[in-house]
Structure 1
Amino acid sequence: MANYMTKTAVAATAASVMAMTASMASADTWRYAFEEAIDEVQGIFAQKFKEEIEANSDHTVQLFPYGTLGESADTMEQAQAGILQFVDQSPGFTGSLIPEAQVFFVPYLLPQDTEALGEFFRTSKAINEMFPELYAEQGLELLVMFPEGEVCMTTQEPVTGPPDLNEVKFRVMTNPLLVESYKAFGATPTPLPWGEVYGALQTGIIQGQENPMFFIESTKMYEVTEVITCAGHNNFTTAVMANQDFYDGLSEDEQQMIDDAMDVAFEHIIDYQKGLHEESIEKIKAAKPEMQVNVLTEEERTPFIEAAADVEATFLEMTGESGAAILEQMKADLEAVTN
């Protein structure tokens, strides 16, 4: 598990960033925070974006991996306040801010086929036309959304169906719909900030969590759990945003440069992830040969798929007409790339 900064150090770093912002009339250093380590998927994306911006302008992009400026809630506040120019944050954390973004946690909505998934994120009207308006209401310019890989569960005991999750305290992001998903799956959902998860698993406060395979491997979650279960229920999605006032204050040429850099980084990260899931499993098994990695059969997935219908209904209750419109459009967008 990564050694994250103390609260004092985080506060000091954030204060220095604020001071830097206040002293610069026209910032040529752009600050970009994300939720993972520099060598994880969001970090790889950020590095490619930085490379493109610095190759095509006089600007410098300063990267802040997870923990350097606090938890996800802290970096979102800093992005909205203009202390950060860019922030990469999963809808899992923005769900309370933008309820419709919770649609990405409706189980079995997104396909696991990587080619279809990539094309969906490239062409989706819901993502590229409808979501930007919702983010703008929160002072954020939505630049891109991209997938990070199939989400799998880690637990202490094997999971072949919802009964195996009964009374399992399962860590979830602070996202209302994800809480409802794991209730539907039979577990006891327990929202926790990411920085507390490894220790909570180690001490038995919780017994399970979910993440893409690369993240399970890189954060060594396998050290404190015994079984990985892939039920095909979701693919982790993240979103890169800019502070709206910052973006709107740029020239059209600079806005286009940012958009182009995001496009290059998107294609880079889609290509980077090819085979990453399988490579991560191999690394986990090499580090812990006794680790069980199970992929549920279609028959075993059926009860989870049936439970997903209740979660979708809950999403519609939470979000009303706007959520229904988003969900309908996403289904149409997905059908266009899968049929």
Structure 2
Amino acid sequence: MKIAATKHHFSPTSVDFILTHFREILEGKSFLSMYQHGENFEKNFAGYVGTKYAASCNSGTSALEIILRAIDVKDCEVIVPTMTFAATAYTVVSAGGRPVFADCTPDMTVDPEDVRKRLTSKTKAVITVHIGGLVSPHTYGLLDLCKEKGLLLIEDAAHAHGSMLDGKKAGSFGIAAGFSFFSTKVMTTGEGGMITTSDPDIYNKALLLRNHAKVNNTNYHREFGYNWRMAEVEALMGLAQLSELESFIRRRNEIAKVYDEEFSKVPRVVPLKVPARVRHNFYKYIAFLPPEVDRDLFHKKMKAEYQVTMGGYVYEVPCHLQPVFKDYATGSLPISEDLAKRHICPPIYYTMTDEEARYVVDSIGRCLA
């Protein structure tokens, strides 16, 4: 049995919807970029998340940079979890700020108490990353801390489409959030991103910056912008995927339940515990190996002997240990360093069968025996 790390899914209905409307665009009946389908996608996505506004763009990275430029972090510090993709920190630097890395809790999300220790008079914002799709209860601690200190909380929701904490969706907790629609995500447009916010100033600034900062859409500019626009074909894919997102999440939760049951029979693997208050989208199903296991060898053996390609890490090298961020590193962040080395992400996707999920766990058990 051959198992891929991830697979995207477009139903026949979605394919027909996308092709029909894209044909109209190709026939000259509509524009190719940032038009009616993009506007509909923004409206529907904001309604789904529960914010007043949404602004589409060309990537999750762009979404975060636009937010950081909108709140003006130039010459300010922004607390960033070290347990995240490098792009989270890239955007701080690109927006003129300085990333300050913080450690995580055992659920791999940023630790509010470690954040508190790293605050200075230059701190302007805190970024929380809903790692693997988990909206941690620690989000409330971050909100309280930001309110206490007069800081802004930004959500990196790249992984977290449809995830919830106490019935509230990712993308609606902070002042603004950035989503990614990269090809591996729970819902995808191939490339693409979205900003969600209920702040009109951030929303209007996002609309300006993503389109070369063209004042009133003219060739007049008061500040630097960029081409961060979303193409209409991506918006069509986004509309189709959003209409099926709840079914994607339901199926991923069913697969996660199979994994939970089967991993209970594999004592050397410990799944990340998901609190009852959380509706996880399971972009990643995360589990931990014993420290003595050679994880690289394990991955190679799973693929070579069992034809199982394991999912990508989140993430194997914390940001503070990345060479590109050496000027921003300030010492050890032990919890993140430990979990980064020990976690695995078994394959999970909408079309995966229960039989395939059981085969993955059985193969992991055999590989570790």
Higher Cα radius of gyration: 2
What TM-score, normalized to structure 2? 0.27
What TM-score, normalized to structure 1? 0.28
More helix as a share of residues: 1
